[in-house]
Amino acid sequence: MKFNLQKIARSRKLEYSIFVFILLFLYNIVFPMHDVLVLFIIHEMLVFAAAFILFEYLKDFFTSRMVQPISLVLNIGIFAAVIFLVASITKFTLSSNNINIETRNFISALFSILAIFILIGIVIFIFSSLRELFFLRQKKDPSVYMNTMLVFFMFTFFSNIFVKINPEYDFIKESFYVVSIILISLNSLRVSWIGFLPKKQKVYLILISVVLILVFSFNFGMISGDDSFETIVVSFSPGLLTLINLIMLYGIIFSTVLFFTTLFHLPTAEAFDRKREEVSSLIDLTKLITQVFDFKELAESVTLLTSKICNSDASWLVIKQGDEFELKSVNNIGYLEADELTKFILGQKYDMDEGVTIVTRHNLAPFVKNSNSQFNFDSIAFSCLMHHEDISGYLFAARSLEIKYDDDDRKAISAFANYAAVALENAKLIEESIEKERMEKELDVAREIQRKILPHQVPELDEYQFSALFIPAFEVGGDYYDFFKLDEENYAVVVADVSGKGISAAFIMAEVKGIFGSLSKIFSNPKELLVRVNDVLKDTLDRKTFVTSIYYVINIKTGKLSFARSGHTPALLCSNGVIQKIQPPGIGLGLDYGISFENSLKEMEISLNYNDILVLYSDGIPESKNSNFEDFGYERIEKIVSDSCHLSASEISNKIMTELTTFSLDNSQHDDITLVILKRLNNNK
């Protein structure tokens, strides 16, 4: 919005200046001669207004774009040359045609007005450029000096009126002129921007400034000397001549200052360039810290920038991995050589208190003697990378020339090592978090797989309602349940619980599923089946892992069930609101692989009547804890089941889970939960 307004204001200024120029042009057509004082004053004012408004327009024009100082100077030079050209051509055409100024015809009048307009434009452009250079790289606002100079320019401009009134008043003009020159000289000294130029541009600037001095001097000479060009300008407006005069003088003084300042800056240019390089390298590194998360890429950038920052021929970076220091990246040195050098230098046990340690060729003599590689470094500087008061790595820089690492180099390397330590630590952390994210994704996949190996749906039978539920404590769990259709009349149901939780339990759970799935097709007798399962598990379970399970086969015609249990929480049978624990004896799978297992197992037969409910669950339910570390307990489950035996299987399941959730609200689930409910319906009722 603000920008738009400025833009409008600027375009208006352009319109104004065009308008004033047209006005000036018309005025000159109407009054070709303005010897009368009033006409003269009006004309002078018009000329000044035209120049001033154009200046205002150009000022905004420059401010709105960032211009390189060197190109500004170049522009000034080009336009100064154009003045020279215009002046020369004017002089040439006028003198060759030998036209008397008093009797000039209309065309030559037009021509001279046009030439003057161009002259005004160029001069103002030069002045605006000089003003722009004046404001360049100024920390404080120096506009008051510039404005004072402008005011005196104006005074000098209009003091011509006094001269016109009476040539004796010449001294007024002279004094304003002198003050203006003093101000010009003062303002010309503001050239601190030169210091910030690279050495190459400084050399270039010296050349340009020499040319500028010459061109401006020629122009100055041409304008102030008694010359036909001068006559034209004076006859148009004496004030303009004074103004041009001042600006040309400004050009000369400024160029001279430019020349000498640049010349004096030249010897320090290289040091300045180096500092700049250091600063920009640090900025690059800061960018890297925030943008590059790839550890390898970062390590390479760090070594490359290190070489650059302290004028080294080679550099390399070692990072602590466990107890070893591992070479991470090299720049301009062989991997093997860098590795050998690192081992040798770190083997010397230098005192690292100073931040940066310098190792000279002399210190490296034993290494050079033993090494096969061609050693051509004169000195090596290295600094440690600190992380939480531990050394996390070392940054090495090596020079082959006999130039010692000075204090600046040390500081640079030290600062760089600090930055690099932070950057590399960041990259490491990000890498770790990416790895963690990857693990989480893998766990998601595992969860999905586990969900898929559990039954997708419960058997749909006319007389029976099934419901099943599995909630792992973590992403995956060690609980397992399944339904098998053995034949038209017989179905088998299993609930198992692998000891432990998480991934390890989930792997065994998948295996258990495979074993039950395949063996249930062969052994229809529950006890025999569990014995066989135990036999198979012998080869895979480690000694401290066991699996509890409960398995039954139901004949859906008769409602008769045969049960076997291996260490699992007992099943609950609810008939008419009365709870009976179904707990046939049997030790957990994997507790014993001998005869004890088989001997411990007893089968149990029950029959399921209409509206009877059979609940199988894992110990995750009774062992759920509340904030006081109290168990949910078996009694609560039994009570819920007996209270809700009139409900459907899935409704009972929901009720148990709702109560369980309310109970353990403040405590996270710490074991897997499985709940499989069967209800026999009475469809004949």
Partner 1 sequence: MADFNVNLRGVGSVSVIDVKGYLDAHTAPELENMFSKLITDKQFKVVVNFDQLNYISSAGLGVFMAFVEQMRDNQGDIKFSNMNDSVYNIFDLLGFPVLYEFYKDEKEAVNKFSNLS
- The footprint of partner 1 (CB under 8 A) covers 497, 499-501, 542-546, 548, 566-570, 585-588, 590-592, 596, 599-600, 629, 671
Q: Which is nearer to partner 1, 173 or 568 (CB)?
A: 568
Dihedral (CA of 7, 8, 11, 12) sign: negative
CB 650 within 8 A of CB 610: no
Q: Which is nearer to partner 1, 24 or 601 (CB)?
A: 601
Least CB distance from residue 492 to partner 1, whole Å? Answer: 22
Phi and psi torsions of 138, nearest 5°: -90, 130
Phi and psi torsions of 396, nearest 5°: -110, 145
Least CB distance from residue 411 to partner 1, whole Å? Answer: 50
Q: Which is nearer to partner 1, 16 or 593 (CB)?
A: 593
Q: Which is nearer to partner 1, 257 or 498 (CB)?
A: 498
Q: Which is nearer to partner 1, 355 or 633 (CB)?
A: 633
Contacts of 29 (CB under 8 A, 6+ apart): none
Q: Which is nearer to partner 1, 239 or 584 (CB)?
A: 584
The CA-atom distances, in angstroms, between 642 and each of 575, 580, 624, 637, 684 are 8, 10, 20, 9, 23
The CA-atom distances, in angstroms, between 294 and each of 104, 106, 305, 345, 632 are 79, 77, 16, 28, 49
Least CB distance from residue 380 to partner 1, whole Å? Answer: 47
Least CB distance from residue 633 to partner 1, whole Å? Answer: 10
- Which of 207, 314, 193, 186 shows the shortest CA–CA distance to 250? 186
Phi and psi torsions of 481, nearest 5°: -140, 155
Least CB distance from residue 566 to partner 1, whole Å? Answer: 8
- Return the number of other C-beta atoms located less than 10 Å from residue 588's C-beta: 20
CA torsion angle 456 513 562 559 (round to 10): 10
Q: Which is nearer to partner 1, 251 or 586 (CB)?
A: 586
Least CB distance from residue 588 to partner 1, whole Å? Answer: 5
Q: Which is nearer to partner 1, 90 or 549 (CB)?
A: 549
32 secondary structure, DSSP code: S
Within 377-493, residue ranges assigned H as helices are: 407-453
Least CB distance from residue 445 to partner 1, whole Å? Answer: 23
Q: Which is nearer to partner 1, 69 or 567 (CB)?
A: 567
Least CB distance from residue 459 to partner 1, whole Å? Answer: 28
Q: Write down how long the chain is.
A: 685
Give the whole-angstrom CA distance, residue 650 versus residue 644.
Answer: 11
Give the whole-angstrom CA distance, residue 327 versus residue 316.
Answer: 8
Least CB distance from residue 531 to partner 1, whole Å? Answer: 14
Least CB distance from residue 530 to partner 1, whole Å? Answer: 12
- Return the number of other C-beta atoms located less than 10 Å from residue 253's C-beta: 19
- Return the number of other C-beta atoms located less than 10 Å from residue 252's C-beta: 21
CB 497 within 8 A of CB 674: yes
Q: Which is nearer to partner 1, 95 or 596 (CB)?
A: 596
Give the whole-angstrom CA distance, residue 580 versus residue 572.
Answer: 6
